[in-house]
Amino acid sequence: MGSADTMKLIGDAFVELAAHRPVEKISVSDVVSASGKNRKTFYYHFEDKSHLIRWIFRDDMARTLRGQFEENQLVYESETEGSMPDLPYYTFKKTGIRSLDGSQFVCALATTLQEKRGYYAKVLRSNAPDSLRAYLIALYTPALEHDIDFILSNRSLNKEAVRFLARFYAGGLVTYLADRLADPSIHDILSGIGPFDNIIHDSIEHEIKEQQFRRVF
Burial label for 71, CB within 10 Å (0-12, 13-18, 19+), is: exposed
Do residues 159 and 126 touch, judged by C-beta distance below 8 A? Answer: no
pLDDT, one tens digit per residue, over 99-127 is: 999 999 999 999 999 999 999 999 999 99
pTM of the model: 0.95
CA angle 188-100-142, nearest 5°?
85
What does the mean pLDDT of the chain come to?
95
Percent over 70 (pLDDT), the chain: 97
Q: Which of 126, 118, 136 is nearest to 15 (CA)?
A: 118
What pLDDT band is residue 96 in, cutting at 50, 70 and 90? confident
In the prediction, which pLDDT does 211 show? 80
Sign, CA dihedral 157-159-162-164, equals negative
How far CA 138 is from CA of 28, 127, 194, in Å, comes to 25, 12, 27
pLDDT digits (tens, 9 = 90+) for 136-149: 999 999 999 999 99
